[in-house]
Structure 1
Amino acid sequence: MKLYVSERAPNPRRVQMFIAEKGITGIEQVLVDINAHEHRAHPLLSRGPMARIPVLELGDGRVLSESRAICTYLEGLHPEPDLMGRNAEERAFIEMADRQVEWSITLPLAQAIRHQHPGLAVLEQPQFPDFGASQQAKALETLRWLDAQLQRQPWVAGERFTIADITAFCTIEFARLLKWKPAELGLPALAAWRDRMAARPSAA
């Protein structure tokens, strides 16, 4: 199998961290320069309607896109250590937390960065800085909610480390492009959680 990734982008990093946490070997990682629009010209990546990465090329030539779908596939192949839930109830609550992060933090922060950071102008034309600023404010509101959650529980989805922590960590690290740091935003529980995440070998 081959995994197509790019530097610094949060969604490819989510899958890379997931693979590292699982200890999966044998997946070739192919670096794609999205700033140079390599993903749009690539014969395999351009098969998808949006030509986005990450993409996992399976051994039979089929292509699996969307980071959550790729992780679900890999979880099925390598069920241990479990990162998505051991039974229906746990899977549902972990997926809920993961989706809450994805839709209420990852998506608005990605829009904030794409519309405000000059280095991403090549990917987002035209940029709308006012829209980016509004999305940044929405993401900060949800981060305050997440900080409150982490004051009551050690991990994003509850009592143990899961895929929801990977999603949140990759998003918050990507937000460093906005010069955001949880401790400076008055989010102490989030800052402590982020430091614990950064110490994990998979974060490297």
Structure 2
Amino acid sequence: MIFYDCSTAPNPRRARMFIAEKGLEIESREISIAERQQLSADFLVINPHGTIPVLTTDDGATLTENLAIARYLELLHPDPPLMGSSAREEAEVLMWNAIVEAQGGHPIAEALRNSHPAFENRAIPGPDNHAQVPELAERGFRRVARFFDLLDARLSDSPYLAGDFFSLADISAFVFVDFARVIKMRIPAEHSATQRWFDTISQRPSAAL
């Protein structure tokens, strides 16, 4: 297998943490988004969508989405379980992972890509150019604030997002919360449950990757 990574981007970091939590050693190749290597002719042969992460498998499949990569590795290496140990647990993990992506990851990207000069005419990932829309950035900032409220409400009732166990949903949320620093947003001081959860995950070796 080969893992196509970018050390500065949040979505590859999610896959990188998942791989580390599984205790796997997979050959990796760095693709620099800053240098637009994901849009190079060579990389577009691997992933025509021009996005990262990508996992190419030993049997020739190309997996281009975090959820697909996680599910594939979970089935091959079920221990430790990161997507639940029962039908209900897996459903909870998938539900919270989807909530985190929709309510956290997408708004952070929306705010960043529609406001930062580095993403001028690159407001949407992929091979096509799209102009920035300032109104979308403003909406993104408001939605990120709401995401922090959502997290704290959940984590006030549960040690982890999907229940009493660490999972893929926590990896996704942790990476997005950490990456929110690029739009100058942090865990609000009054959100003690989220801060406790964030500090706990920060101690895991995978969080340093």
TM range (shorter): over 0.9
C-alpha RMSD over aligned residues: 1.6
SS at 1:29's partner residue?
A: strand
Does the 8 A contact of 1:54 with 1:65 survive in 2?
yes
Letter in 2 for 1:176: R
SS at 1:116's partner residue?
A: coil
Cα-to-partner distance string for 1:16-68 (whole Å, 9 max, x where unaligned): 0001111112x111100122221121434445442211000112333111011
Letter in 1 for 2:160: W
Instruction: Go from structure 1 to structure 2 and tell me whether the alpha carbon gap of 1:137 and 1:112 turns closer, same or farther (over 3 Å shift).
Output: same
Instruction: Go from structure 1 to structure 2 and tell me whether the alpha carbon gap of 1:44 and 1:37 turns closer, same or farther (over 3 Å shift).
Output: closer
User: Where does residue 166 of structure 1 map in the other structure?
Assistant: 171
SS at 1:30's partner residue?
A: strand
The number of residues matched between the two structures is: 202
Q: Give me the TM-score of the superposition, normalised by structure 2.
A: 0.90
Cα-to-partner distance string for 1:81-134 (whole Å, 9 max, x where unaligned): 001011211111111111111111111111111112233337334222221111
TM superposition shift of 1:197 = 1.3
1:44-123 alignment to 2 at 5 Å? 44-121=43-120, 123=122
Structure (1/2) with the larger helix percentage? 1
Letter in 2 for 1:137: R
Query: What stretches of structure 1 move > 4 A for 4+ residues in a row?
Result: none
Instruction: Go from structure 1 to structure 2 and tell me whether the alpha carbon gap of 1:24 and 1:192 turns closer, same or farther (over 3 Å shift).
Output: same
- Give the unaligned 5+ runs of structure 2: 124-129
Q: Give me the TM-score of the superposition, normalised by structure 1.
A: 0.92
State the alpha-carbon separation in 1 of the partners of residues 45 and 182 from structure 2: 27
TM superposition shift of 1:199 = 1.4
Percent identical among aligned pairs is 39
Q: Does 1:197 align with 2:196?
A: no
Q: Does 1:155 align with 2:160?
A: yes
SS at 1:43's partner residue?
A: helix
Cα-to-partner distance string for 1:113-162 (whole Å, 9 max, x where unaligned): 11122333373342222211112211221220210111111111111111
SS at 1:4's partner residue?
A: strand
User: Where does residue 15 of structure 1 map in the other structure?
Assistant: 15
Instruction: Go from structure 1 to structure 2 and tell me whether the alpha carbon gap of 1:175 and 1:32 turns closer, same or farther (over 3 Å shift).
Output: same
- Give the unaligned 5+ runs of structure 1: none
Cα-to-partner distance string for 1:133-192 (whole Å, 9 max, x where unaligned): 1122112212202101111111111111111000001111111101222044x3221122
Q: Does 1:177 align with 2:182?
A: yes
State the alpha-carbon separation in 2 of the partners of residues 92 and 42 from structure 1: 38
